[in-house]
A and B are shown apart, each in its own frame.
Chain A
Amino acid sequence: MIRTIFFKELKILFVSPLSWIMLGLMQIIFAWIFFSRVDYFLSIQFQLGRMSSPPGITEIVNIPVFGVCSIVLLVITPLLTMRLFSEEKKNQTLPLLFSSPISILEITMGKFLSVMFFASLFPILIFLMTSSLMFGGNLDLGLMISCVIGILLLSSCLLSIGIFISSLTSSPIVAAMGGFGINLILWLINIASEDPETFIYKVSLINHFENFLDGTVYVKDILYFIIITFFMLLLTIKKINNERF
């Protein structure tokens, strides 16, 4: 049944012009950043040649594109998740799901996986685009894969937050604004503390994500994103279940 919900959500997502506009705009932004970085890389060839261990093309061109992607996700994910439950509430379609032989866990997972699939297109497309440099230079594929993993984990975390916010309201706009607000707080919370031992530092999204951009994959970072995702999905299931009381 997760599959049925997954395809239903994807279908609804792709009949909406918003999704196509989002995909198109993102590609334009990523391509623009990519070509700017290539141009910059070519312009500093002389300086690089004089360095003893210069950074490679992956660090100068590819990683910034993934970095931009992570910021773009802060804005995009609430737009993707805003309608998942709030629109069901607004259009009063939840009774169809509740009166069907399907659990709330299956409904939530189907919805989550559908937006996860959509969000996964961004790092995959960036990976394919930046991989084109393989024909003219040597790429650090390990670093790129680390970035893709980081983006995927960040997406799952932001999407699960968005889904939970969507389950709280029947207004998609409120869900989008709420999701964006929380994403921003989690992203910028590290400004409040530079000390790695503080709680605020530990819950900051950016501190956990940046390690992936450096090519260092820590279990604690992976667990951080998985735990937030799991917790938010659990809260969503609880909230939707409470609709029946």
Chain B
Amino acid sequence: MDSQTYLEINNLNKFYDKHHALDNVSLNISVGEIVGLLGPNGAGKSTTMKIVTGNLSSSSGDVLIDDINIVQQPTKTKTQLGYLPEVPPLYKELTVYEFLILASKLKKIPKKNITASVESTIEMCGLREVRKKLISNLSKGFQQRVGIAQAIVHNPKLVVLDEPTVGLDPNQVVQIRELIKKISKNKAILFSSHILSEVEAICNRVYILNFGKIIYSANIKKLTDNLLNSFQFEFTNKFDESIIVEKFPKSKINIINQFSFSLENVDQLMINKLLILGIENNWGLTKMIPLKESLEKIFTSLTKNK
């Protein structure tokens, strides 16, 4: 574990009878990072999060928070942990303020600091206007904010968020994403989602889980950069399709019209070659547009047949 790593999961396994729900999952998160846990439904995202937060026991493997094993010292590690499950754990009979006071006490914030912690969390999560309202009377978006507020009220170093934008309308999704970015300073955030654009918008790094195994892990920039391998070419004059097919036999060519086509799996050499072809045949290249393959497509190709 390097000095920056705050959460470390080593060879985590979970069996439900004979079903192998988690298969040697290992990952780590440093302070200041938002790490996305991606995967289709049933991939093991929530199971991983439940184990990390002490809601589920593992069959084998270790979870270390700040170098401390969560099984050996649960009380100590849980004071540095905030968790928002898929369904926010809210006591809807209480007002927002009462609930956050309760959450502060449960997280063992010293009595003299409780009011200040609750007030600053209310401010940070934009709950000022609803602080005296019963949680049952709040919209889903505000309830989700209250859920995030309870997870950060004790200023934990590790925050685990399980699909925090599920069921929200687009405006609420944007607000929650901004809130997550805002709280990410000086915290390690583990964030699960099956919405890939969301992970791309928020996370620094991503782990893709499928059937309980991590099948891909990368820096989010690297992931998106890898997707930039298709281009659309537009010309002022008609191009000769047979020349293109002859010169790029291994690439998939999509003819859009007489003046444009797209090419997949393009590398730098091929671009150079196409530029020369355009000049030699006087096609008059006007545009070269990188076509970003959707994350969904990559995700599907990674998670199918594995």
Contacts and interface: CB of A to CB of B under 8 A. Distances in A.
B98 interface: yes
A244 B55 contact: yes
A234 to B, nearest CB: 20
A4 B105 contact: yes
Mostly, the A contact residues are loop
A220 to B, nearest CB: 39
15 contacts: A4-B106, A11-B94, A12-B93, A91-B89, A93-B89, A94-B55, A96-B106, A98-B54, A99-B54, A99-B55, A99-B81, A101-B79, A101-B106, A101-B107, A245-B57
A227 interface: no
Nearest to A241: B57
A18 B135 CA distance: 20
Contacts of B78: 99-101
Q: Which of A93, A100, A103 has the most CB of B within 10 A?
A: A100
Nearest to B85: A95
Contacts of B91: 8, 12, 91, 93
Nearest to A102: B106
A94 B89 CA distance: 7
B53 interface: yes
A1 interface: yes
Given A100-B106, A101-B75, A95 B89 contact: yes
Contacts of B50: 95
B106 A91 contact: no
Contacts of A101: 74-76, 78-79, 106-108
B45 to A, nearest CB: 15
Contacts of A244: 54-57
A96 B103 contact: yes
A95 B162 CA distance: 12
Contacts of B105: 1, 4
A12 B94 contact: yes
A92 B87 contact: yes
Contacts of A100: 78, 106-108
